[in-house]
Amino acid sequence: MDPDLSATNQPYTYGSDDPVNESDRTGDDAATVVEQFPLRSGGTTPLREGCSTCNFGLWKINNKHNLYNLNIIAYTVLYGYRANPSPGVYEYLQAFSNVYSSSLQINLLVVSNQNAGFDPRILGLEVGIVTAYCVGVTECPMWVNVVGLRPIATLTSVFSYVNESDWD
Amino acid sequence: MPWSPNEWEQAVASPDWGTRVVTAVLGYSTDGKWLLEPVRLINVSLEIDPDGTPVLKVIYESPSHSKRIGLRRRLDRIPFGAHGGESPEESLAREICIYEISEPLGRYSELLVEDANGVWWWGDGYPTLSENRLSEP
């Protein structure tokens, strides 16, 4: 915890000569491609390393959403329901169950931005996977990462706010 | 191309940059545009960090959380993407609305800091996520 917050309960504010988190904020490896996921429409979309302050990539998926199982991201991008909420941006949706306990289920949502990036670290390159998370729960349960998963056809009611006609 | 890196630099350096982003956030949220999960904005305001960087403060409610959430976001980071016809502030506002406000908090939920008004804060100046949780014992 930073010194301001522990003493005052007020957020840390950055001074003009502040070295705090500078290396973290740079994200020099953010553009590094970790995986290339095949798409149903042909071609691939990259998963980049990302960083703690990047809004794209593996860092956020791992550390914010507790999702380390890249196989289910690959499956969802290839076979999941798909929506196209804005030009070049796709949402993919797939339900999975635990192979050892079929009552344990998660719905995975993956977002891929297949446009060129504007962040200098990915300038002119495809952004790729922006985020992926388990819908309706605070974070992906650990079993998602450590046991086998089986894709299932039916999505659960957590998608009540989603217009089904938007998905194919 | 919506804007060039040079135009981004000029926009961020302008004295009304923070106000422009606030206006763009309000515009994006009231236009019913795409979000990952529905949210209701309660208040959007601006403050300035000691280094001169404008800071967006958004208080919002989400069906994913029983708490009223606050995002504190410095406005000095370039968005990863931009759409045709957008201004720099519109690109940044869209990215903040989709991938910070409407994206589930995930493990930030464990790090929220409550203020005197019952708003639970995350973002710049608040605790950050640790890495490699999977390898922890």
Which residue in the set B34, B121, B129 is minimally distant from A52, CB to CB? B129
Provide, as residue numbers in chain B, all residues whose Cβ is less than 8 Å from the Cβ of A62: 131-134
User: What is the distance between the alpha carbons of residues B82 and B90, in angstroms, rounded to a whole number?
Assistant: 9
Predicted local confidence at residue A159, as pLDDT? 53
Query: Global pTM?
Result: 0.89
Q: Which helix or strand (DSSP H or E) is residue A39 part of? A: none
Asked whether residue A1 is domain-assigned, the answer is no
Mean per-residue pLDDT, B13-20: 97
Predicted local confidence at residue A18, as pLDDT? 55
Predicted local confidence at residue A20, as pLDDT? 46
Determine, for residues B81 and A63 on separate chains, whether the beta-carbon distance falls below 8 Å: no
Q: Within the 84-113 window of chain B, which residues sit less than 8 Å (CB to CB) from chain A?
A: 84, 91, 95, 99-100, 103-109, 113
User: What is the distance between the alpha carbons of residues A163 and B5, in angstroms, rounded to a whole number?
Assistant: 37
Predicted local confidence at residue B114, as pLDDT? 97
Q: Within the 5-34 window of chain B, which residues sit less than 8 Å (CB to CB) from chain A?
A: 5, 8, 34
Predicted local confidence at residue A19, as pLDDT? 46
% of residues, chain A, pLDDT over 70: 77
| Interface-testing mutation among A13, A70, A86, A90, with chain B (most B C-beta atoms within 10 A) | A13
Q: Does any CB of chain B come closer than 8 Å to the CB of residue A29?
A: no
Predicted local confidence at residue A1, as pLDDT? 52
Which residue in the set B52, B79, B83 is minimally distant from A87, CB to CB? B83
Q: How many domains does one find in chain A?
A: 1
Predicted local confidence at residue B83, as pLDDT? 87
Asked whether residue A112 is domain-assigned, the answer is yes
DSSP state of A123: B
Provide, as residue numbers in chain A, all residues whose Cβ is less than 8 Å from the Cβ of B81: 113, 115-119, 127
Predicted local confidence at residue A9, as pLDDT? 64
By C-alpha distance, the chain B residue nearest A85 is B34
Residue A164 has pLDDT above 80, yes or no: no
Residue A163 has pLDDT above 80, yes or no: no
Residue A157 has pLDDT above 70, yes or no: no
% of residues, chain A, pLDDT over 90: 61
User: What is the distance between the alpha carbons of residues B83 and B34, in angstroms, rounded to a whole number?
Assistant: 13
- Between B135 and B15, the higher pLDDT residue: B15
CB of A15 within 8 A of CB of B51?
Answer: yes
Q: Which helix or strand (DSSP H or E) is residue B13 part of? A: helix B5-13
Q: How far is CA A55 from CA A23, A29, A48, A129, in A?
A: 17, 14, 11, 10
The b/e string for A106-136 (b: 16+ C-beta within 10 A; e otherwise) is bbbbbbbbbbebbbebbeeebbbbbbbbbbb
Residue-number span of the structural domain to which A63 is assigned: 28-166
Asked whether residue A20 is domain-assigned, the answer is no
% of residues, chain B, pLDDT over 90: 80
Give B5→chain A minimum CA distance, Å.
8
Give B20→chain A minimum CA distance, Å.
19
Mean per-residue pLDDT, A140-154: 90
A-to-B residue pairs, Cβ atoms closer than 8 angstroms? 130
Write out pLDDT tens, residues B70-124.
999 999 999 999 888 899 999 999 999 999 999 999 999 999 999 999 999 999 9
Q: Does any CB of chain B come closer than 8 Å to the CB of residue A43?
A: no
Asked whether residue A150 is domain-assigned, the answer is yes
Asked whether residue A2 is domain-assigned, the answer is no
Q: Does any CB of chain B come closer than 8 Å to the CB of residue A143?
A: no
Which SS3 state, helix, strand or coil, does residue A70 take? helix
Name which of B72, B137, B38 is nearest A4 in CA terms. Answer: B72
| pLDDT tier at A23, thresholds 50, 70, 90 | very low
Q: Domain map of chain B by residue range?
A: 5-126
Name which of A34, A33, A14 is nearest A24 in CA terms. Answer: A14
Which residue in the set B38, B64, B99 is minimally distant from A131, CB to CB? B99
A60 contacts: CB under 8 Å, gap ≥ 6: A50, A54, A131
Predicted local confidence at residue B116, as pLDDT? 96
Average predicted confidence (pLDDT) for chain A: 85
